[in-house]
Amino acid sequence: MAIPGHDRSPADPGLRAGRAPGARPLAGHLPVLYRSPLDFLGALPRHGDLVEVRIGRRPLFVLCHPDLVRRVLTDDRTYDREGPSYQRSRRAMGNGLATCPQAEHRTQRRLMQPAFRPDHLARYAAVMRRTIGEAVDGWRHGQRIDLGGELFALATKTAVRALFDAELPPAEGRELHEALDTFLKGIYRQTLLPWAAGLPTPGNRRYGRALAHGQAYTARLVEGRRAGAGTGGSGDVAKDVLSHLLSTRLPDGTPVAGDAVHDQCTALVLAGSETTASALAWSCHLLSRHHDVAEELYAEAHGVLGGRAAAQEDLPRLPLTGRVVTEALRLYPPAWLIPRVTTTETELAGRRLPVGSMVVFSPYVIHRRGDLYPEPGRFRPGRWAEEDVPADGPAADRNASLRAYAPFGLGAHRCIGESFALTEATLALATIAARWRLQAVPGAVVRPAARAVLAPERLPMYLYAR
């Protein structure tokens, strides 16, 4: 007998569409998405591979199967970066690579790609090593800190130094962190409650001030470089993203427009700070709860590094460190909600989707499927070891879990800074593990904050020198 709301499609054999239960009149699933979005999203695969959720009266379709994710994220003509959420992001962050629609993406990607070549990454890694070493040298034995805040300061200072060849004084860094935190909370609320965005509430006023602060900071970065001698900071050779943008000439011979430079830098300040800090914070949190893995990691890091900060050439000798970061990104992907909007009528899992339908990919949902990742809620870095990959799996594909892993997205829009982020997170985690033992504060509850980047609300931690 057919189940109401479930269909099967020849285009997606074996996949089914369904509806999430519990929608309230008028509000739909808004209350639960606001209060406990991860618990709600994590339960959706039991209702189908494509699950309809209600945002007020508007349907939203959540991709709960990796085949549908790959189909949507690799077809950016049908599933474009449009709709209210991206319009709001563009008003806040500009029309840069992180927010632009499909029609502009290839041109922008080509513009930005040279600044992320391997030779640039080697220079960035040298900056990472110096900044990481300075940060951990400043910690004290027995100190209690908000590790999330410390790691944000580290990631932001690293991004500003590496990508913009500039310094970030501590006071300015704290102000920027507060502004970005307020912005990320505010834009998540405004995406869920767009009708409330224009109300003169205290939260909206804080959001407006945070937005202005972040934009002003980017403007100072760009104008400070323009006022300097040459476009390359210490010289005229483009050695960072900002110098690349200011020295590049477009095919018609004109420089990159000022607003385009500002937009790209605004997104990089956010991506280079919050996302990397989030990956590091969750890695440290998980290690503090799994002492066996933490001791294995210490043995690896100490054996390779001794007392020095990690360098790029150490990465091949830090396989467990890399697996810890990989597993933390599986459990807590920073970009946990990725929306798309259909540009033409289409079909997924037997469900017809009209033009303008919102489709959402959540790595958090896919990364916790038990058929792809045994014991999906358990922190198991060993699952990423070559010898731990099963010989068979779903659809007899031993790489199913690897293909479903997408903390940086898929397709043409895959994050351009993926190598930058993974390099920094691995170098920082190895350096910390070799020098410090992290102990969770007894009784402290660590939970994800409901905002645009999935980070801990608070991460209180004791530090003990090794």
Q: Of all helices (H) and strands (E), which one includes residue 112?
A: helix 102-112
Q: Specify the pLDDT at position 395.
A: 39
Place of tokens 């285009």: 11
Tokens of 376: 């999906």
Q: Specify the pLDDT at position 388.
A: 55
Annotated binding residues: 415
* 460 bridge partner residues: 146
Indicate if the alpha-carbon torsion angle 250, 252, 257, 260 is positive or negative: negative
According to DSSP, residue 384 is labeled G
Q: What is the spatial distance between Cα 197 and Cα 85, in angstroms, rounded to a whole number?
A: 12
Q: Which ranges of the chain have pLDDT less than 70?
A: 1-11, 229-238, 387-399
Tokens of 208: 């407006």
Distances (CA, A) of 328 to 12, 66, 172, 279, 380: 31, 19, 29, 7, 9
Q: Specify the pLDDT at position 399.
A: 67
Distances (CA, A) of 301 to 2, 282, 321, 343, 422: 56, 18, 8, 49, 16
Q: Specify the pLDDT at position 155.
A: 95
N- to C-terminal Cα separation, the chain: 63
Q: Which residues contact 302 (CB under 8 A, 6 or more apart)?
A: 433, 434, 466
Q: Specify the pLDDT at position 238.
A: 65
Question: How many other CB atoms are there within 10 angstroms of residue 323's CB atom?
Answer: 20
Strand order in the sheet with 436-440: 144-146, 460-465, 436-440
Annotated binding residues for heme: 415
